[in-house]
Amino acid sequence: EESFEELARQYKKFTNAPKFDLNSEELFCICRKPDNGELMVLCDGCDEWYHFKCMNLKKENSGLIAKFFCKFCQWKGTGFTLWKRKCRVQWCNEPARVDSNSKYCTDAHGKLFIKQLLVDREALIQDLKPEVVNDILTHVGDNYVKLKNLGSEFPELPEVTKLKDTGSNLSEFPDDTRTALTKVNGKLDSVNESIEQLQKRIDYLAKLKDKIKLANEKLAQTLFPDGKIPDSSKKSKKQTKSKKLDICLYDNSVVGSELASSFLSQLLDSQDLFVEFQESVGRRLKDELDDAEWYQNKICIQERRKCIRHNGWLNLVTDESARKMSELQTLLEGLELQKETILRDYSTRVYESK
C-alpha cells in the first residue's frame, strides 16, 4: 500500500503535469497519455479519466463499479470506490439485479447456481455429522420460521458485537484488524467533526436571510424615518415611497469559516455598532464614499442592484454548503461500509479457521 507521503508526491506531480501533448492531444490518467482506446474509468470525485491498469482495476470487473474514486480522491478523503454486488455464479462478472433484490444477474444464472449447489451438496450430505443436525434442531425447536431464516443473517462474533456497542475496545482483535479499524475510526471521527461544523454553518445560513431583511428594515427606519428613500439611479433628487432599501450586506466572514466573528450577527444586537454602520451606509447612499469603499467591517454596503460582484451570494454560499454536506455524507457512508467490511472479513477468517 502506498504511503501518505508517496501519494502526496504523486498528486503534486499529477496536478503539475501538462494537459495536452505537443500535438495538442488531450492527456489522461496519472500516466499522462492520450486516448489510445484502452479501457478507462471516470472518477466521480475529480472528473478525470484513468486507465484500469493504472488504477489496478481488472477489466472484467468494469460492470461492477457503482462509484469510482481515484487513489488521489481517496487519499484526500473525497470518497471511496463502491462496488455493485456480483452475481453469485463464480465465473460470472455481471452485477446482480438491483430492481428485484436478486443475488443473480439473470434467472438463468440463479437456477444454474442452485443446480451447482445441489450437486456439490450431495457429497457434503454424507459428511454431515449427527451432532450438528442435533444442535440445529435444538436451536430452532419447533419454530419453523426460525429454521427457515437460519443463516439469513451473518452471525456476529462476541467481540464484534461488543465493539459495535461500546465503539472503543480494539484489544480483542489481531494486529492487522486493529490497525485497519484504528485507521478507519480516525477518518470517521474527522468526517463526523466536519459534518457537525458544517451543520452549524448551514443552520446559521438559514437564519441569515431573515437577519439581512431585518437589517435593511432597521436601516430604512433610522436613515429615512419619513419613508422617503432617495432613488440613487437618477441624477435628480426625486424621492419615492414605494422603493425599499436593499443593501447587499455580503458578509465576507460567512463566505469563509468565521461564523463566530460575523459582524452581521452582532450588528442587530449592539446599538453602538449599528449607529456606526448606519452612518457608513448613509454616506454610501449619498455617494460621499469612494467607489472602492464597499466594505464596513467585512460587510458590503453597496445597494444590491448596483452590486454585480456579489449577485446572489447568499444562495451560492448556501448551495455550496449543501453540496459539501452531500459529499461528506457520501464519504461517511463509504467509511462505515469499509469498517463493516473489515469486521466481516475478520469474522469470516475466524469461522473458517474453526
The strand ranges marked E within 87-240 are 229-230, 239-240
Long-range (24+ apart) CB contacts under 8 A made by 186-195 are 187/77, 187/335, 188/332, 188/335, 188/336, 188/339, 190/77, 191/77, 191/328, 191/331, 191/332, 191/335, 192/332, 194/328, 195/325, 195/328, 195/329, 195/332
The span from the CA of 83 to the CA of 334, in Å, is: 11
Q: What is the distance between the terminal CA atoms of the chain, rounded to a whole angstrom?
A: 30
Q: Are strands 239-240 and 299-300 parallel, antiparallel or unpaired?
A: unpaired
Count of Cβ atoms closer than 10 Å to residue 142 Cβ: 7
* Structure confidence at residue 42 (pLDDT): 95
Q: What pLDDT score was predicted for residue 282? A: 73
Class of domain 4-83: alpha beta
pLDDT value for 61 = 92
List average pLDDT for each run of 10 residues in the chain, which is 354 residues long: 82 91 90 92 94 93 92 87 89 86 87 78 63 76 78 76 81 89 90 91 85 82 69 50 72 61 65 70 65 64 81 86 88 89 86 72
Q: What pLDDT is attached to residue 259?
A: 55
For residues 315-346, one letter each, b for 16 or more C-beta atoms within 10 angstroms of the residue's C-beta and e for the rest, the string is: eebbeebeeebebbebbbebbeebbeebbeeb
pLDDT value of position 260 = 47
Residue with cell 460492470: 63
Q: What pLDDT does 120 receive?
A: 65
Domain map (residue ranges) of the chain:
4-83, 190-322
Does this model's pTM top 0.75?
A: no
For residue 30, give every residue at least 6 positions away whose Cβ sits within 8 Å of its Cβ, in sequence order, or none: 10, 14, 50, 54
At residue 109, the pLDDT reads: 92
Q: Can you tell me the distance from the alpha carbon of 254 to that of 171, in angstroms, rounded to the nearest whole number?
A: 44
